[in-house]
Amino acid sequence: MLTGDLMELAALQQLFYDAIFDKSGTRSEALCQHITTAPNLTAADGIAIYRGSILGKLSSTLQAIYPFCHRLVGDTFFRMTASTYVHLSPSTSPDLGDYGEDFPEFLAMFEPAASLPYLPDMARFEWHWHRIFNGEDTSLLDFQALANIPHEKWGELIFKLPKASVLLESVYPIHRIWQVNQPDYEGDDSVNLDESGVKILLWRQNDEMRLDLPTDSEWQLLKAFQSQQPFGLICEALANNEATLDVSALLTQFVQRGWIADFSF
Amino acid sequence: MTTHFPPSQITGAGLGLRSEHYQDILIHHPPVQWFEVLSDNYLAAAGQPLHYLERIRNNYPITLHGVGMSLGSADPLNLEYLTRLKRLANWMEPAYISDHLAWISINGCYLSDLAPLPYTEAVMEQVAQRIIQVQDFLEQRILLENPSTYVAFKSSTMPEWAFIQGVVDKADCDLLLDVNNIYVSATNHGFDPLNYLNAIPTERVKEIHLAGYEEEENYLFDTHGYQVHPPVWDLYQKALERFGAVPTLIEWDTDIPSFEVLMAEADKADALIKKIANNRSKA
């Protein structure tokens, strides 16, 4: 295509894109000048159809990725929130599964949601759930290979958490909020937002999503492993802490639970 | 990844693979002849959806249908997207890979739904060149699907059917003919759908889509959320008479009904396909 023709096409497509997201209407009016009026559809009608479809699809993508947030705030509020977000945050990937990563950060700054201080953390949880569910599988730890490592070499090992995993913490009991909103939940559905926060290891074991609640000691060691430092350095650093951790015993438990999925030098 | 999948060829009526039906399909092995897979939902390297897809592929042939190629865009092709698509195709061995005569991206920003093109010689050349590049990259022909449209551009110098004919000739690609889209666009823009049908080269049509539109006050909206309407069934029969016993997908993307409802639509299409095949074999 000649450069001039390509530039002309690019300009028209950019105008179309701008008209979809433009709230003032000026870009729509400009785009209308390029469109033929059909028997039953004006140019403005036609643009509105595309606008509704495109914005609707982005909004429904957010609803699919953040179903608990949607349930917590209700459909009307969620649609209003999503509408504000889609105008601020363009999609930069052909994969709609990539859309909405900064929705939690947006919620943290979104004044109408200020009365729900736990909402951004809940959204963060949901984003990671979505990515882990659709993300890379975790291989099984090669126990034989690990057993073959001479003990004097263990200090050089770097232990790895599952690829499909994340360590999340919140000052709010978001695990309880998630639990009581499960479709099959039966029991006391009250949640005390003032109760202690939570530390979560969210991960996937084969096809099963796992929400584990490490103890403080386990959390400390998990964070250390997440840093990808050699095992020897981790043991030294933890030995200098006030709390004494039985690192070897914890490591054995981590391996048995599947919390350690791989290792390397 | 080792694969021992059944043959890739598709015949008869197929259904779109939807996550709502994974368990039903794996447990009951319904007599669906093939599934259309929305490729853009499976482009990650791994993950639970891919596990389901692989297990389903063990029992059914599939096609890969996406929107992410953005064939009509002025942007360069997204090579990362094409790389992921090629990896998926090499793994799943689809009968066909298809995408749309449309664009979804400009200057790196994506629209999430298909947008319309002006139909000029220059744009025809642009689209054809991009399809050639895609086919070279994927090492196979793709199917180009005709869109449903709600605007037409003043700069267009030809109708859509002539544009598609030109693209197909230049790119040497094949066609996924969406009969519902022809009917929707014909109603919205005021042209005879048979003019469209009769302009399409017969040897290029490898697959047909059927879907249900919604009737709004002053236009038809291609929602893929309803049963196929009678006028579309009529147009479909004419399409079969022209193009032969082409594999046909019942496309239902929103307000997805029970599997029984989908199978009933597929059975209806299948009966028409068999009838045309019988008529042709007797002729």
Residue spans per domain, chain B = 13-282
Is A137 within 8 Å of chain B by CB? yes
How many distinct structural domains can be found in chain A? 2
Residue B1's pLDDT band (cuts 50, 70, 90): very low
If DSSP states are collapsed to H, E and C, what string results for chain A?
CCHHHHHHHHHHHHHHHHHHHCCCCHHHHHHHCCEECCCCCCHHHHHHHHHHHHHHHHHHHHHHHCHHHHHHHCHHHHHHHHHHHHHHCCECCCCHHHCCCCHHHHHHHCHHHCCCCCHHHHHHHHHHHHHHHCCCCCCCCCHHHHHCCCHHHHHHCEEECCCCEEEEEECCCHHHHHHHCCCCCCCCCCCCCCCCCEEEEEEEECCEEEEECCCHHHHHHHHHHHCCCCHHHHHHHHHCCCCCCCHHHHHHHHHHHCCCCEEEC
A8 is a domain residue: no
Residues 224-283 of B with CB under 8 A from A: none
Is the same domain home to A141 and A264? yes
Eight-state DSSP code of residue B139:
T
At B3 the pLDDT is 54
- Note whether residue A223 is domain-resident: yes
Q: What is the pLDDT confidence band of residue A243, given thresholds at 50, 70 and 90?
A: low
Give the tens place of pLDDT for each residue, B41-77: 998 877 888 889 999 999 999 999 999 999 999 999 9
Residue A14 falls inside a structural domain: no
Interstrand relation of B35-38 and A198-205 (parallel, antiparallel or unpaired): unpaired
Q: What does residue B35 show for φ and ψ, rounded to 5 degrees? A: -120, 145
Q: Which tens digit of pLDDT belongs to each residue from A111-152?
A: 999 999 999 999 999 999 999 998 888 778 888 898 899 989
On whether any CB of chain B is under 8 Å from the CB of A105, the answer is: no
Same domain, A111 and A165: no
CATH superfamily of B13-282: Divalent-metal-dependent TIM barrel enzymes (3.20.20.150)
The answer on A128 and A141 residing in a single domain is no
Please tell me the distance in Å from A19's CA to the nearest CA on chain B. 11
Distance CA A38, CA A36 (A): 6
Share of chain A above pLDDT 70, in %: 98
Supply the pLDDT for residue B283.
67
Residue-number span of the structural domain to which A176 is assigned: 137-265
> What's the DSSP call for residue B69?
T
B210-254 tens-digit pLDDT: 999 999 998 999 988 899 999 999 999 999 999 999 999 999 988
Which chain A residues are closer than 8 Å to B44 by Cβ? 97, 134-136
Q: Give pLDDT, residue B37.
A: 97
Does A264 share its domain with A195?
A: yes
For tokens 């991009």, name the residue: B130
Res. B110: pLDDT tops 90: yes
Residue bearing tokens 């793709």: B142
Whether chain A has a CB inside 8 Å of the CB on B125: the answer is: yes
**Residue corresponding to tokens 């049509």:** B205
d(CA B68, CA A31): 24
Best A47, A134, A140, A203 residue to mutate vs chain B (most B CBs within 10 Å): A134
Domain assignment present for A196: yes
Of A103, A134, A165, the one marking the end of a domain is: A134
Of B45, B151, B218, the CB nearest to A35: B151
**Domain-located, residue A56:** yes
CA distance A197 to chain B (A): 30
Nearest to A34 among B78, B155, B188 (CB): B155
Q: Which amino acid is at A123?
A: A
Cα distances (angstroms) measured from residue B238 to each of B13, B41, B179, B224: 17, 33, 10, 21
Whole-structure pTM value:
0.92
Gap between the Cα atoms of A211 and A257, Å rounded: 12
Amino acid B254: pLDDT: 87
- Please give the interface size between A and B, counted as residue pairs whose CB atoms are below 8 Å apart: 138
Is B103's CB within 8 Å of A99's CB? no
Listed residues A119, A134, A149: the one ending a domain = A134
- A12 lies in a domain? no
Beta partners for residue B97, in sequence order: B64
Largest CA distance in chain A: 82
The CA distance from A128 to A152, in Å, is 37
User: In Å, how far is A210's CA from the nearest CA of chain B?
Assistant: 13
CB-nearest to A49 from B45, B107, B221 is B221
Domain boundary at A134, A151, A170, which?
A134
The four Cα atoms B147, B150, B154, B156 give a dihedral, to 10 degrees, of: 10
Q: Do A57 and B113 count as a contact with CB atoms less than 8 A apart?
A: yes
- pLDDT tens, position by position, A227-242: 999 999 999 888 877 6
Q: What is the rounded average pLDDT of the residues B269-282?
A: 91
Of the residues B48, B69, B130, B133, the best mutation for testing chain A's interface (the one with the most A CB atoms within 10 Å of its CB) is B48
Examine the domain organization and report whether A113 and A181 are in the same domain: no
DSSP state letter for B59: T
Mean pLDDT of B87-112: 96
CA distance B186 to chain A (A): 11
Same domain? A141 vs A206: yes
CATH number, position A192: 3.90.930
Contact B118 A9 (CB under 8 A): yes
| A263 and A147 inside one domain | yes
User: Could you tell me which of B110, B119, B109, B181 has the C-alpha nearest to residue B150?
Assistant: B181
Does A30 touch chain B if contact means CB atoms closer than 8 Å? no
For chain A, how big is the Rg over CA atoms in Å?
Answer: 25
Q: Which two tokens stand for residue A136?
A: 């890379």
Same domain (yes/no): A203, A107: no
Using a CB–CB cutoff of 8 Å, tell me whether A15 touches chain B.
no
pLDDT of residue B4: 65
- Residues A192, A238, single domain; the answer is yes
Asked whether residue A222 is domain-assigned, the answer is: yes
For residue A9, tell me if it sits in a domain. Answer: no
DSSP string covering B6-37:
PP----SEEEE--GGGHHHHHHH----S-EEE
Strand partners, B35: B15, B62
Q: Are residues A234 and A141 in the same domain?
A: yes
In terms of domains, do A129 and A82 share one? yes
My answer on whether A153 and A206 are in the same domain is: yes
Do the Cβ atoms of A17 and B219 come within 8 Å? Answer: no
Which of B 16-35 lie inside 8 A of A, CB atoms?
none
| A10–chain B Cβ distance below 8 A for any pair | yes
Q: Is B104 on the interface with A (CB under 8 A)?
A: yes
